[in-house]
Amino acid sequence: MRQGLIAGTALALFACLPGAALAEEGDAYVAPRGPGGVHPDLNGIWQALNEAHYDIELHMARASLQLRDGPHGPVPSLETYKLGAVVSVPPSMGVVEGGKIPYTPEALAKKIENQADWINRDPEVKCYLPGVPRANYMPHPFQIFQGESTLFFAYQYAGAVRDIFTEDPGPAPIDTWMGQSVASWDGDTLVIEVTGLNDQTWFDRAGNHHSSQMKVTERYTPTGPDHLHYEATIEDAETFTRPWKISMPLYRRKEANMTLMDFRCVEFVEELMYGEWRRNPLPR
């Protein structure tokens, strides 16, 4: 009797939560039609609001720079503590469905090495293009341009872009940082299959990685006037023991004068990457 009362109370409380209301709204929501009047209108500037940029898995707050061996295991270096909260990683429930990425043992070992040496290995530090799906949840907005038979994604970070094919051109001729994207529609859900990705991009700042065999299947579903439900299914038999998925809401930026701005991060990393070749090195 008592267990039934507790369960009933919990269900009643859950129904009052904002997330539950959004789920009901999303199930009933019919988005305005876009150009051509057939598919939902996804035009707009969107942004994720979560901590996936730091680590897509469930994690507690931690320092983000290199670790040193302590008497009870790895601990942050003294240099990390001197930088304070600037180099900390905020905690997160994660966006990986099921909680953990299903790495092979060898790939998990590489992930741990990547995380320990993140500051030297993460391609974001050197302003390389972020790849997919990482581009969609960096702390930068991106814009969807949707025409009657065209799709184009523009990202604020590093000026990255994706010209989305609406007819399959066949296998990608070469591997690239942003891959080859081919779109189709499943009802009101935009489905994008991404292949031809190189093996240099990461999923986050925590060293989560993949091989050049990765295939990403994205799903963008309108759940309200200013919300998209985003899913990305990851397939890569070289790195993972099975396919797995991340999911999150994307939010429309509502500022009246909202626009993508320049983030030409190459200018910020030239000294890091090429400073040793200066004729007259900068004073330290």
The whole-model pTM stands at 0.84
What percent of the chain clears pLDDT 90, i.e. is strictly above it? 72
- Place 10 in a pLDDT band, splitting at 50, 70 and 90: very low
Question: Do residues 121 and 187 both lie within one domain?
Answer: yes
Sign of CA dihedral 205, 118, 194, 56: negative
pLDDT score of 122: 94
Locate tokens 């930088």: which residue?
A: 83
Percent of the chain with pLDDT over 70: 83
Residue 201 pLDDT > 90: yes
Residue 8 clears pLDDT 60, i.e. is over it: no
Specify whether 209 is located in the same domain as 236.
yes
What's the mean pLDDT when you consider all of the chain? 87
* Model confidence pLDDT, tens digit, residues 206-236: 999 999 999 999 999 999 999 999 999 999 9
Question: Is 177's pLDDT higher than 50?
Answer: yes
One-letter amino acid identity for 207?
Answer: G
Query: In which domain, by residue range, is 72 found?
Result: 59-92
Residues 238 and 116 in one domain: yes
**Which region among 19-23, 30-34, 105-109, 194-198 has the lowest average model confidence (pLDDT)?**
19-23
How many domains is the chain built from? Answer: 2
pLDDT (tens digit per residue) in 40-65: 999 999 999 999 999 999 999 987 76
Identify whether residues 81 and 218 lie together within a single domain. no
Burial code (b: 16+ CB inside 10 Å, e: under 16) for 35-65 equals eeeebbebebbbbbebbbbbbbbebeebbbb
- Based on the domain organization, do 195 and 273 belong to the same domain? yes
- Residue 107 domain-assigned (yes or no): yes
Q: Is the Cβ–Cβ distance between 95 and 136 less than 8 Å?
A: no
Rg (the chain; Cα; Å): 21
- Pair of tokens at residue 146: 């949707």
**What pLDDT is attached to residue 64?**
73
144 in a structural domain:
yes
**In a shared domain, residues 140 and 71:** no
pLDDT at 77: 55
CA–CA dist 194, 80 (Å, integer): 37
Give per-residue pLDDT as tens, 73-96: 544 555 555 667 777 899 999 999
Non-local CB neighbours of 64 within 8 Å, separated by 6+ positions:
54, 80, 87, 88, 89, 118, 119, 205
The CATH number that applies at residue 236 is 2.40.128.20
